[in-house]
Amino acid sequence: MNPAFEVNFDGLIGPSHNYGGLSDGNLASARNAGDVSNPREAAVQGLEKMRTLVRAGLVQGVLPPLARPNFDLLAAAGFLGADAQIIEAAARTAPRLLKAAYSASSMWTANAATVSPSADTSDGRLHLTAANLSTMLHRSIEHPDTTATLISIFAGEDHFAVHGALPAHGDFADEGAANHVRLCNEQGAPGVELFVYGRDDGESTAGFPARQTRLASESVARSHELDLVRVVFARQARRAIEAGAFHNDVVCVGALDTLFFHEFAFEDTAGTLDALRRSAQGLFDLKPVMVPDAEVPLADAISSYLFNSQLLQLPGEDRLVLFAPGETQDTASTRAYCERLVTRNGPIGRVEYVDVRQSMRNGGGPACLRLRVVMTEDQLASCHSGVLLDEERIDELQACVRATYRDRLSPADLADPAFADECRIAREALLGILELDALT
Ligand code: SUG
């Protein structure tokens, strides 16, 4: 076995972070629509989370923000001319479209791609498939640029296979790693990949959208050349989606042999656990930690984002650590649950709270902000080193954010053509620090 470890690639929050209210079914996005955001604080909070993990001894990566506004989207809608003219015309006649073009949603890199480590794939390469994010307009424009970013970071076909997104149709709706959990004994050993979907292709559901289809999950599993004996497809509970869990990672998180999930996460909990145990036979003994609704009501799980935590193995600690959002500490039921959880003799030994409130108000917790990539030493050595962080680089990025980002942004401010230049200048400076100038 080739030893491997998990690298978290967090999204660096972009200068246009705003509360656009663009995501139907995402209660936080709807609740905070139109509020004034603070992009500077948002990016600093995200970088502080990365710093916490660097200090804990983990390898931490970062993915740069995508260029915003996305002029291709505006041009596709017939807005042509000089940049300032395009923005003024769009602000006047299509303000919602302008918000979509400006969305900083690429920060939630759990949705950037689905990742299968080389221990699970038949060609021994690390596979990544960019997610088409086809359900939400503002997210559907991310994948071409995300694919380009992934190719420039995971360069070299000996080690990496970067796949472009699935066809942009509802039947292939794909939201990436937010609906995918990899379980294993140790990172370098073969694991079991759990794909969670909300509907079948061709199936329409009333109410909040189910953003992942079974066909999309199966397609990714096939192109990643996974051993299908080690793959489980499970249906997300309709009840969870209706309660505001627009991605599975709002009600479930897994790490190593541990699956931490809410009682109402899956349509068929017993069947899902049985299938996981069967797939894990000979590899590891599954450790399920199910949170009963009687202890944490589904509504609290979703408003506090208890499950949208990072579940991490830290050097020197024998049990897993849950890095949960501060909102989990502020919510009585989840705080009490976490206090009880760590006193038990289970696989989770400690809970730490992190402040990512700016992102949380758009429905993005600690787990949304990171893409997990399990890598061997060789793969790490051949990926682009400019995006791997030490504290010095974090300091540089924070200084750049403080110098170039606004600390107040309302959706109405997007109408100001000068803001587009500010966004470009800020992003170019960040790309310079990450040695990714080729992406400008
Ligand atoms: O897709 N919010 C994101 C949040 C993504 C969270 N990711 C995971 N759970 N992995 C979404 O709904 C809101 C943007 C706005 O409303 O302006 C938004 O896109």
Does residue 257 contact residue 347 with C-beta atoms inside 8 Å?
yes
Is it the case that residue 205 has pLDDT exceeding 90?
Answer: no
- Active site (annotated) includes residue 175: yes
Q: State pLDDT tens for residues 389-417.
A: 999 999 999 999 999 999 999 999 999 99
Q: State pLDDT tens for residues 286-342.
A: 999 999 999 999 999 999 999 999 999 999 999 999 999 999 999 999 999 999 999
pLDDT of residue 326: 98
Q: Give the distance (Å) from ligand 1 centre to CA of residue 124.
A: 33
- Which residue's CA is minimally distant from atom 7 of ligand 1? 368
H-helix or E-strand spanning residue 288: strand 287-291
Is it the case that residue 209 has pLDDT exceeding 90?
Answer: yes
pLDDT of residue 13: 98
Strands 126-130 and 160-163: parallel
Considering the candidates 184, 368, 383, 423, report the single residue annotated as catalytic: 368
Q: Give the distance (Å) from ligand 1 centre to CA of residue 373.
A: 21
Of 17, 27, 6, nearest to 250 by C-alpha is 27
What average pLDDT does the structure give for the chain?
98
- Which residue's CA is minimally distant from atom 8 of ligand 1? 368
- For the four alpha carbons of 209, 214, 215 and 218, in that order, the dihedral sign comes to positive
β-strand partners of 226? 121
pLDDT of residue 193: 99
Strands 180-183 and 192-197: antiparallel
Ligand 1 closest atom vs CA 22: 16
pLDDT of residue 301: 98
Considering the candidates 142, 175, 263, 327, report the single residue annotated as catalytic: 175
Residue 268: Cβ within 10 Å count: 12
Stated pTM of the model: 0.98
pLDDT class of 1 with cuts at 50, 70, 90: confident
- Which residue's CA is minimally distant from atom 6 of ligand 1? 364
Is it the case that residue 188 has pLDDT exceeding 90?
Answer: yes
pLDDT of residue 410: 94
| Residues sharing a CB contact under 8 Å with residue 440, sequence separation 6 or more, in sequence order | 67, 427, 428, 431
